[in-house]
């Protein structure tokens, strides 16, 4: 057993592939989010999206708006374009306030359910500020924060106590002024058979705070695992394959995280790849098994720019398979995983 593992690690170091990891898949989750890409909207700069709701504290200035292009409605800063499709939503303001974007999710009673979303944060103040009470009240000074939570729908919309079931993200003092787009994930399986609420909250009373949301889904396939805005074989594919092999910490990320990546931490990379394994997104050939020597190799070859049989030869898992050739593999990686493939 020791020699097998050692041999596997030697091969992965040399080839980025290994035959040492195969995981049978659970039932894949269905899409539970309505209009998660915000592609259905009332126009750029407006605030109406089917499936989504807005709330704001009295006296708040600004809210979430439909984003198209690289310019927020009020701020003069250039921001990244939407991470998927033509639209995202962005929190922008001309003065202090608290704004909340939310949607309720009915979690199935069985199967795995993993939520994902893309998030961009740009702080125009010198630093973030979070009150000791964690309050989302913009009248509490200083208060300059963004957070994403799963909350109990029966709780107050601004609850930061017992009503919070899980926290996906929260800015803290000392965090980078600009983050994103980063991918956030949350396993909703512990809440099976219940309804939970996804809440994105933005509070600012120092300077402006832009918070953009895109690609909210329970059909996660995001192969930019270091969140540098690119899908690269020698970084993203290597991180995916290493995680398939059970590596963590520096053994997972060393030499494989792009210097511009916003998700250099091993825990974040591990969380994203684990989420994609849970919901079956990394089953590239569609045979019900995730294997580093087949699915991992297919991802690596595609990211290295190979096409046709140069991708599939010797890299397809045991039949029956949903995707048997390059055309089917390419279509899946393009449509489900956002790769731009020839």
Q: What is the pLDDT along the chain (342 residues), one digit of tens a residue?
A: 322 333 333 333 334 444 446 666 554 457 899 999 999 999 999 999 999 999 999 999 999 999 999 989 888 888 999 988 899 999 999 999 999 999 999 999 988 888 999 999 999 999 999 999 999 999 999 999 999 999 999 999 999 999 999 999 999 999 999 987 888 989 999 999 999 999 999 999 999 999 999 999 998 788 988 877 788 888 999 999 999 998 888 888 888 876 544 444 677 788 888 888 888 889 999 999 999 999 999 999 999 999 999 999 999 999 999 999 999 999 999 988 888 888
Reduced 3-state DSSP string for the chain: CHHHHHHHHHHHHHHCCCCCCEEECCCCCCCCCCCCCCCCCCCCCCCCCCCCEEEECCCCCCEEEEECCCCCCCCCCCCCCCCCCCCEEEEECCCCEEEEEEEEEECCCCCCCEEEEEEEEEECCCCCECCCCCCCCCCCCCCEEEEEEEECCCCCCCCCCCCEEEEEEECCCCCCCEEEEEEEEEECHHHCCCEEEEEEEEEECCCCEEEEEEEEECCCCCCCCCCCCCCCHHHHHHHHHHHHCCCCCHHHHCCCCCCCCCCCCHHHHHHHHHHHHHCCCCCCCCCCEEEHHHHHHHHHHHHCCCCCHHHHCCCCCCCCCCCCCHHHHHHHHHHCCCCCCC
- Looking at residue 92, its pLDDT comes to 96
- Looking at residue 86, its pLDDT comes to 94
pLDDT digits (tens, 9 = 90+) for 43-53: 999 999 999 99
- Looking at residue 143, its pLDDT comes to 98
Q: Which two tokens stand for residue 192?
A: 């099976």
How far apart are alpha carbons 178 and 123 in whole angstroms? 6
CA angle 95, 136, 114 (to 5 degrees): 115
Residue listed under structure tokens 């259905």: 40
Does the domain made of 53-217 have the CATH classification 3.40.50.2300? no
How far apart are alpha carbons 95 and 91 in whole angstroms? 12
- Looking at residue 24, its pLDDT comes to 61
- Looking at residue 317, its pLDDT comes to 95
How far apart are alpha carbons 111 and 322 in whole angstroms? 20
Q: Which residues contact 15 (CB under 8 A, 6 or more apart)?
A: none
Domain coordinates of the chain in residue numbers?
53-217, 221-335
pLDDT digits (tens, 9 = 90+) for 167-226: 999 999 999 999 878 889 899 999 999 999 999 999 999 999 999 999 999 987 889 888
CB-facing half-sphere around the CA of 10: CA atoms within 13 A: 6
Q: Which pTM was predicted?
A: 0.79
Q: Which two tokens stand for residue 108?
A: 């199935």
């Amino acid at each position: 057993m020791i020699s097998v593992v050692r041999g596997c690690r030697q091969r992965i170091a040399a080839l980025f592939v290994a035959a040492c990891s195969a995981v049978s898949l659970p039932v894949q989750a269905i899409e539970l989010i309505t209009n998660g890409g915000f592609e259905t909207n009332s126009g750029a700069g407006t605030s109406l999206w089917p499936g989504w709701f807005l709330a704001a504290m009295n006296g708040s200035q600004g809210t979430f708006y439909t984003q198209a292009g690289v310019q927020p409605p009020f701020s003069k800063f250039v921001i990244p374009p939407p991470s998927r499709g033509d639209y995202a939503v962005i929190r922008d303001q001309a003065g202090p306030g608290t704004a909340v974007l939310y949607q309720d999710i009915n979690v199935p009673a069985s199967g795995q359910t993993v939520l994902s979303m893309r998030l961009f944060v740009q702080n125009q103040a010198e630093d973030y500020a979070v009150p000791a009470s964690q309050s989302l009240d913009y009248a509490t000074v200083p208060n300059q924060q963004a957070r994403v939570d799963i909350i109990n729908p029966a709780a107050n919309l601004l609850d930061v106590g017992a009503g919070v079931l899980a926290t996906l993200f929260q800015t803290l003092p000392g965090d980078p002024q600009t983050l994103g787009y980063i991918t956030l994930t949350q396993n909703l399986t512990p809440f099976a058979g219940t309804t939970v609420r996804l809440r994105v909250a933005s509070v600012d009373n120092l300077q402006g705070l832009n918070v953009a949301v895109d690609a909210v889904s329970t059909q996660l396939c995001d192969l930019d695992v270091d969140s540098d805005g690119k899908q690269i074989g020698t970084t993203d594919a290597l991180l995916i394959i290493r995680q398939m092999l059970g590596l963590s910490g520096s053994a997972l990320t060393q030499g494989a995280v792009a210097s511009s990546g916003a998700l250099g931490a091993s825990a974040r990379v591990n969380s994203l790849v684990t989420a994609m394994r849970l919901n079956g997104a990394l089953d590239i050939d569609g045979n019900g098994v995730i294997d580093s020597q087949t699915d991992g190799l297919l991802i690596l070859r595609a990211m290295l720019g190979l096409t046709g049989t140069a991708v599939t030869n010797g890299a397809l898992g045991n039949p029956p398979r949903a995707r048997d050739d390059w055309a089917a593999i390419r279509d899946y990686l393009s449509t489900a995983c956002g790769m731009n493939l020839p």
